[in-house]
Structure 1
Amino acid sequence: MPDRHIYGFISRLLESIDIAFCLFDAEDRAVMWNDAFLRFFPEHAGHVHYGEPYRENLRRFYEARLSNEERCYIERYIDEGVARHRAQSRPFVFTHRGRRLQVASMPTPGGERARVWQQLQVTAHAPKADGWDAFPIDLLDHIADGAMVLDQADRIIATNAEFRLLYDVPEGRSVIGSTLADVVRAAWEKAGEQDRWSDGFVQDNLNFAGAPFEVELPGGRWRRVIARRSASGIGYFTHSDLTELKRQQAALKRALDELSAIAATDGLTGLANWRRFDAAIKAEWERSARLGTPVALLVIDLDHFKSVNDRFGHAAGDECLRRLAAATTQAVKRSAGLAARTGGEEFAILLPDAGNAESLAVAEEIAQIVRMEAWTEVHPELHALTVSMGICAVRDTTAVSIQDAMGRADAALYRAKNQGRNRIEVDGA
């Protein structure tokens, strides 16, 4: 794999022919750039630094080019720019600070990504918009997709009939001289939903000719736009209907989400299973370490459950587990906790931002609900059931591992069972 010395040589070589270069690592952080990069993008001079996330690089880029009205959409632009950065496979052209730049990007063998920018020279005798009729406009109507041609000022010179259908342009209304933003805005106004429309997003994507982008229309409809510009600045755009693909993608995502939820849910009780609980603990441990907040773990065991199964049958035992699950769900609702069935008659609860007092209150509520449960509804001879619980409340997750905390909670549970059951034992960490 080429090392950074080779990329440094490439960077200087490109500098000698006025081509900007920037190298990003596998985490999208800037690790190398040349002087041409700072000339083309002077907003980065004195600010870009080794290890800077590409998102922050984009933030300065957009702050330098967005109007005050467009600033409210900057996070959306940044997200779109990051997506372009990660997925780009073909060069595209855009204008920045009066320069027409062509940018190419490729992943390196080592999993990094190199980007280069070259300034394009504008033809001295660029055609005017009103002289564009040298192109046979009738050819546009032979294109199956929507077609649009823009002049150097991004005003529409020509479209075909399919374009008008895709963007709800009324019969007899001319769009010549309008912008694509005008056309899309009119579609939203026609639907009475103009508040959902933002001009800047479409216009900013037009500036990156060559990078496909998507335009949303009322009614959940989507259009995909692919653009090319000539050296003179004339833009040639195709538009296709992406609505059905978007719907299929949404349906697939819902199906995958449902499968994921099923895979992370205990089939008997509807609580989280161990897989989901384990992932939640890891995420909460990281959050707690970052914010310095406490976290508590509760482990719960249904006392004498084996005798319930042996005496009343497994159907009755399953119903007992469902009722205990309902009790844990009711108790954690107010604490934003996560309850899980971790195996057999064993349950666990994760309580973010909770110490001894908060976790003990949840445990006592569970015990109270279990005591008040109408167990004779499960079986006439089942008059009472109890639970034993162990608690480990962790004040500093940087000092206590997940395994250690779970071990302490289990140890507290065993103390409760060994001391007669129907008890709560707390081990603060």
Structure 2
Amino acid sequence: MSGLRVWAVPGIPEVREGDDLAKLIAAAGPGLVDGDIVLVTSKIVSKAEGRLVRAADREAAIDAETVRVVARRGTLRIVENRQGLVMAAAGVDASNTPAGTVLLLPEDPDASAEAVRAGLRDALGVEVGVIVTDTFGRPWRTGLTDIAIGAAGVRVLEDLRGGTDAYGNPLSATVVATADELAGAGDLVKGKAGGLPVAVVRGLGDAVVAGPGGSARELVRGARDDMFRLGTSEAVREAVTQRRTVRAFTDEPVDPGAVRRAVAAAVTAPAPHHTTPWRFVLLESEGARVRLLDAMRDAWIEDLRRDGRSEESIARRVRRGDVLRDAPYLVVPCLVMDGSHTYGDARRDAAEREMFVVAAGAGVQNFLVALAGERLGSAWVSSTMFCREVVREVLDLPAGWDPMGAVAVGHPDGVPAERPARVVSEFVEVR
């Protein structure tokens, strides 16, 4: 590493569609040797591959390259593009291109890097690594730098986990983004406006590997591990639209802290007269859950027998309540009428209660959405509303607490089924 050297390659002409980048680089006389790493700006790769397209409307071009919107502020969009990269404007570039055109990123930057690498091997007889770079903004950091969006023959990540530092401390989370560090080093000598689209790094031969090497896609954090996958408003919208009723759960325990965070979201719901009409009873022990569900089952069976149902029909109906019994965690939301007004008029008193019931529903909706944000599944079941006295007795609740169903909570066992598409206009009337 002490002999590391980085330099830009002058003499690369203006690149046009169909040009052979490897031949253009070789002709510039970069003096390559085995183990060098060649850094190629994505812009000239895109030009050579014919990714310059006519687009009078840049926004339409961004739409076409976008898989999902991560965050939006005014006209600025951070999106995931078709290459799997999360970046501003999907990487669509309108600078240094003829009027009425935009430049798209290479279709497959890894394949582009491999083509340049193979071409340099053929032209110069050298075994080098190649990285395709692009300019990138980063969360939490001001300013732009270059990152690797394509790679061939390069170890893109150096996994130091399992080793120790200089003091003998174990390294448990250190994975170095070598390809990105190389891209940033190349940007220092290429510059953003110097007309030098290619750079070479020498002295890091250990990062060059035989065969195709690593893929730049390894540098993209997977959705499961990405704690910042969405912007704030998009995260809220995603949690609302992706919330599903989950009826099958794994045995994985539920974090009580996650449920309490969801309750904190629930109690921000609107309520009449500045009241707080919600209470959430958390059934964290198996014993509490079994006692409640057994008592509710007995009360339900008694009701069904009074209705004249057959024993077969009763057994079938009782089985439908298994979603609560199978869940590792139960929550019973309750309505309290503290702070409500009494008017002495049946119509107005009924409307007063309706306001509180609506507020309770808003609180439960907040709760369910927040659980989804914690990656917990839930099912809101109305059963406790049909045996409120039983629930109050088993859970030792005050007489004024009205159970508003029960929420089964747990880690989903599988992916919930897609919700059928709903046309918004069918639910809207405009006056």
Shorter-chain TM-score range: under 0.3
* Greater helix share, structure number: 1
Q: TM-score, normalised by structure 2?
A: 0.23
Q: TM-score, normalised by structure 1?
A: 0.23
Ranked by relative contact order (alpha carbons within 8 Å, sequence separation 6 or more), the top structure is 2
